[in-house]
Amino acid sequence: MVADDLLELGLDLDRLSENHLRTLWGEFKSLRAEEPHIRSVAIRIFVWYVVESKLFNSAAMRRSGAIGRSIATMRAWAETDPALTLVVLREAEAVKLFLYQIFERADAPRQMILEAQRRLLQA
C-alpha cells in the first residue's frame, strides 16, 4: 500500500494537513495513471512532496534525517525488485540535489557544509 511505503520512506501522512493531503492524493492519481508499479508511485510521490511540491513541512517526516535515509530505503527496494532501479536512480538523485542545496544555505561553518556535501555526493 502506498501509505505504508511512504511511511517507510519517512513521510507520515497522519501529520499532513487536510489541504496538503488532498494535494498529495491528487498527485497520486496523476502518477498512478502513468506508473504501473505501486512502489514506484510511492517513491515518486515522496520525492514530489519533498522536492517539488512547495508543500514540504519537516514536521510531516517520521523522524529526523528521514529524507537522507529515504535514499537507502529506495535502494534497498531496488535491490529486491529490479523493476524499481531506474526510478530509484532518478529520484535518489533529485533528493541528493535537494539536500545539497539545503546544505548550501545552512547556517554552519563552511568546512562543515563542504564535508556534508562531499559525503552526500558519495552516497
* DSSP sequence for 64-113: TTHHHHHHHHHHHHHHH-GGGHHHHHHHHHHHHHHHHHHHHT-SS-HHHH
pLDDT at residue 117 greater than cutoff 80: no
C-alpha 80/C-alpha 28 separation (Å) is 23
Given this model, what pLDDT does residue 92 score? Answer: 93
Angstrom distance (rounded) from CA 57 to CA 66: 12
Residue 122 pLDDT: 72
User: How much is the pLDDT for 48?
Assistant: 94
pLDDT-derived band at 118 (thresholds 50, 70, 90) equals confident
Q: Is the pLDDT of residue 123 over 80?
A: no
Neighbours of 82 (CB within 10 A): 9
Q: Over the chain, what is the mean pLDDT?
A: 90
Q: Terminus-to-terminus CA distance in the chain, angstroms? A: 27
Q: pTM for this one?
A: 0.85
Encode pLDDT of 10-25 as tens digits.
999 999 999 999 999 9
Q: Do 34 and 74 contact (CB within 8 A), yes or no? A: no
Look up cell 513521510; give the residue.
11
Residue 116 has pLDDT above 80, yes or no: no
